[in-house]
Amino acid sequence: MSAFLRFTPLIQSLPATVPFVGPEAIERQRGRRIAARIGANESGFGPAGSVLVAIETAASETWKYADPENHDLKHALAAHLGISAANIAIGEGIDGLLGQIVRLVIEPGAPVVTSFGGYPTFNYHVAGHGGRLVATPYVDDREDLEGLLAAVKRENAPLVYFANPDNPMGSWWPAERVVEFAEALPETTLLILDEAYCETAPAGTPPSIESLIDKPNVIRTRTFSKAYGLAGSRVGYALATPGTAQAFDKIRNHFGMNRIGVAAAIAALADQDYLKEVLVRISTSRERIAGIARANGLVPLPSATNFVAVDCGRDAAYARAIVDRLMSDHGIFIRMPGVAPLNRCIRISTGPEGEMDLLAAALPDVLKSLAAA
């Protein structure tokens, strides 16, 4: 008997897929090294020097498992946010937490509401647990809160996903509208409020911790992957009521966190001065990307994240050609949204000035070559 026949019917029905083609895979496919890695919304500015010291110190103890209760990181976050450690769950980045949340809530066939074109890894987890995605389109390049709410009520959905600020468009809603949306949801609907980019957003974008921390049907997910520069460490956390946070203990991998990554996250949280410096550099880089886009006749969209979505003014084929030519001809890695009408855009992550210089030099050449073709 073939091994695959042992899989569940659900797993047999799913394609083997990777939601994102990584830059390493692109290098292997193209046979070319990446010169500017500005496509994965990592922080090319890296972590603080104090974090690198903490990593070096922790490396000698990597033979030990990490604390399965994540006590020190929970308490560091609690002190930073002014809440109880009981309100916090720790996971392997937001991606890992999303999979656990879906597992906690979704049974096969259950409807799950999200935005059409939103974060594909969430959709991947929903499919993997047998959920049925119900997607509402973006309106004016941002997630449609009224559309999401209407879909939840129409489908009697037990789960809804909303990112603020948003990926892939970089758009955002003010805190008061987010709170209104959360309060309008049925008590039987769990809201995942993905705040991966909360540090880079304008003041007044993330709701206050107090405004949602007592709602048992709200989980806010955050990460050390973006502004803190620790994407490779895979450290994320969820904020919820104690009862909701404790539910993760029923299904999580208690030895899933890596000891070096946890030490890095604690050190990063302690170095808020460096975070402030990085946020300035991200803002400056966003402005540089916008300027490069305008200089080439493209339209940068307003962004509250560490990337800028750039409207190329045509269709997905044209945007894809820009993405491909930047990589094949210049070794510049960027990405683009996956569905219309968002896929008229390309998406460029912020990064060091040297990588911005490469983009500024390459983009005119790419657009010229496409015009000639």
Q: Give the distance, in angstroms, between the CA of residue 360 and the centroid of all CA atoms in the same chain.
A: 26
How far is Cα 134 from Cα 162, in angstroms, rounded to an integer?
13
Amino acid at site 97 = L
On the question of pLDDT at 4 being above 80, the answer is no
| pLDDT confidence of residue 272 | 98
Q: Are 101 and 192 in contact (CB under 8 A)?
A: yes
Decide: helix, strand or coil at residue 43. Answer: coil
| pLDDT confidence of residue 97 | 98
Cross-strand bridge partners of residue 220 = 193, 239
Exposure string over 91-104, b if 16+ CB within 10 A, otherwise e = bbbbbbbbbbbbeb
Which position has the higher pLDDT, 32 or 196? 196
Domains of the chain, each with CATH number or no CATH:
3-46+273-372 (3.90.1150.10), 49-272 (3.40.640.10)
Q: How many helices (H) and strands (E) does the chain have?
A: 14, 12
Q: What percent of the chain has pLDDT over 90?
A: 92
Decide: helix, strand or coil at residue 90. Answer: strand
pLDDT band at residue 1 under the 50/70/90 scheme: very low
**Can you read off the two tokens belonging to residue 231?**
């994407």
Cross-strand bridge partners of residue 163 = 194
On the question of pLDDT at 19 being above 90, the answer is no
The average pLDDT across 36-48 equals: 97
Write the DSSP assignment of 219-258 as a string of letters. Answer: EEEEESSSTTS-GGG--EEEE--HHHHHHGGGTS-TT-S-
* Cα separations in angstroms, 230 against 47, 226, 243, 248, 293: 6, 7, 29, 23, 28
How far is Cα 147 from Cα 203, in angstroms, rounded to an integer?
25
Which position has the higher pLDDT, 29 or 222? 222
| pLDDT confidence of residue 121 | 95
pLDDT band at residue 7 under the 50/70/90 scheme: confident
Q: How far apart are the first and last CA of the chain?
A: 53
pLDDT one-digit tens code per residue, 211-227: 999 999 999 999 999 99
On the question of pLDDT at 293 being above 90, the answer is yes
Query: What predicted TM-score, i.e. pTM, was given to this entire model?
Result: 0.95
| pLDDT confidence of residue 20 | 85
> What value does the mean pLDDT of the chain take?
96
On the question of pLDDT at 254 being above 60, the answer is yes
Q: Are 253 and 284 in contact (CB under 8 A)?
A: no
pLDDT one-digit tens code per residue, 149-173: 999 999 999 999 999 999 999 999 9
Q: Are 80 and 345 in contact (CB under 8 A)?
A: no
Q: What percent of the chain has pLDDT over 70?
A: 99
How far is Cα 332 from Cα 356, in angstroms, rounded to an integer?
10
How far is Cα 119 from Cα 123, in angstroms, rounded to an integer?
7
| pLDDT confidence of residue 305 | 98
How far is Cα 231 from Cα 343, in angstroms, rounded to an integer?
25
The average pLDDT across 131-142 equals: 98
pLDDT one-digit tens code per residue, 265-278: 999 999 999 999 99
| pLDDT confidence of residue 3 | 55
Q: Are 92 and 233 in contact (CB under 8 A)?
A: no
